[in-house]
Amino acid sequence: MAGFDFSGKNVLVTGASSGIGLAVARGFAAAGANLSILALDGDRLAAASTAIGEEFDCPVTALPCDIRDREAVRGALSRLDRIDCLINNAGLELLTPMAEEGDAVEAAFRSVIETNVFGTYYVTRDALPRMPDGSSIVATASVWAKSAEAGFSAYCASKHANLGFIRTLALELAPRRIRVNAVCPGYINTEAAALSVRTDALRTGRSETAIAAAWIAKQALPGLMEPQAVVSSFLFLASDLSADITGQSLHVDRGEFMD
């Protein structure tokens, strides 16, 4: 990507088979990084790896892995020798309304927390011994990491936790000059967001169009963003251009949340 050069840098992007993760992985490949990508769906991950490799004429290491599985994470990251930049993007967004009861909603709540909190912790834990001093970590948080949305208690709780995690890591890793930051995207046109809209429409009886319009109406700038809109923010926070920035969260949400 123009303005960024990651030549010689080893970058790991999790949740990179679709959506924001795939767009960010493509951005690093375009900037010359040695790219590794990790995701749950092995078939989609393989397709993404092949597509990126062909588009940018570069090797891509594909690591199929369920980040909720501690041993699976250990096994996947054991294939990597050095990680100069870790993009903790893998996550799960599911409706978990408190008005609903039963095993299904409790299982959904648990799965979101296990993926977004424990999964992020596991990947980071195993990445750190492979990260040299001066490297960087960038997490995908959410506009809901500093606000809330009815029906998404597990997701909002997990993203608030993600910000607490990156801020604490920023302090712990400062002696090694490893910077830790987050990008907080707003409403992005991804499969995960579309599924949330569709599920909420079925639950409430409202139309998908009405739900999407209500989310967009919270923004100062109108319109629905595409995954590409957040890529430069990840590259900036991973690069030496942000050498004095750590423990911070950068909102790319068209003004939905303002500090």
- The tokens describing 132, both together, are 């040299």
SS3 106: helix
Superfamily of domain 10-188+226-251: NAD(P)-binding Rossmann-like Domain (3.40.50.720)
Query: Going by C-beta distance under 8 Å and a sequence separation of 6 or more, which residues neighbour residue 258?
Result: 220
Q: pTM for the whole thing?
A: 0.95
Catalytic residues: 155
Token pair 């209500």 is at which residue?
214
Scanning 57-143, the segments in alpha helix (DSSP H) are 70-77, 103-113, 120-127
pLDDT value at residue 72: 99
Alpha carbon of residue 156 to chain centroid: 14
SS3 call for 29: helix
Distances (CA, A) of 10 to 4, 6, 90, 185, 249: 14, 8, 18, 24, 23
DSSP symbol at 235: H
Amino acid 203: pLDDT: 85
Residue type, 19: G
For residue 2, the model assigns a pLDDT of 63
> For position 1, what pLDDT does the model report?
60
CA 10 to CA 28: how far, in whole Å? 10
Q: How many CB atoms lie within 10 A of CB 234?
A: 31
DSSP H or E run through 154 = helix 153-173
* Alpha helix segments (H runs only) across 183-259: 191-204, 208-217, 231-238
Digits of tens for pLDDT over the chain (259 positions)? 668 999 999 999 999 999 999 999 999 999 999 999 999 999 999 999 999 999 999 999 999 999 999 999 999 999 999 999 999 999 999 999 999 999 999 999 999 999 999 999 999 999 999 999 999 999 999 999 999 999 999 999 999 999 999 999 999 999 999 999 999 999 999 999 998 899 889 888 999 999 999 999 999 999 999 999 999 999 999 999 999 999 999 999 999 999 8
- What is the Cα–Cα distance from 182 to 89, expressed in whole angstroms? 10
Give the model's pLDDT for residue 33: 98
* Rounded-to-integer distance, Cα 222 and Cα 181, Å: 26
Q: How many CB atoms lie within 10 A of CB 101?
A: 9
Strands 85-88, 249-252: pairing kind: unpaired
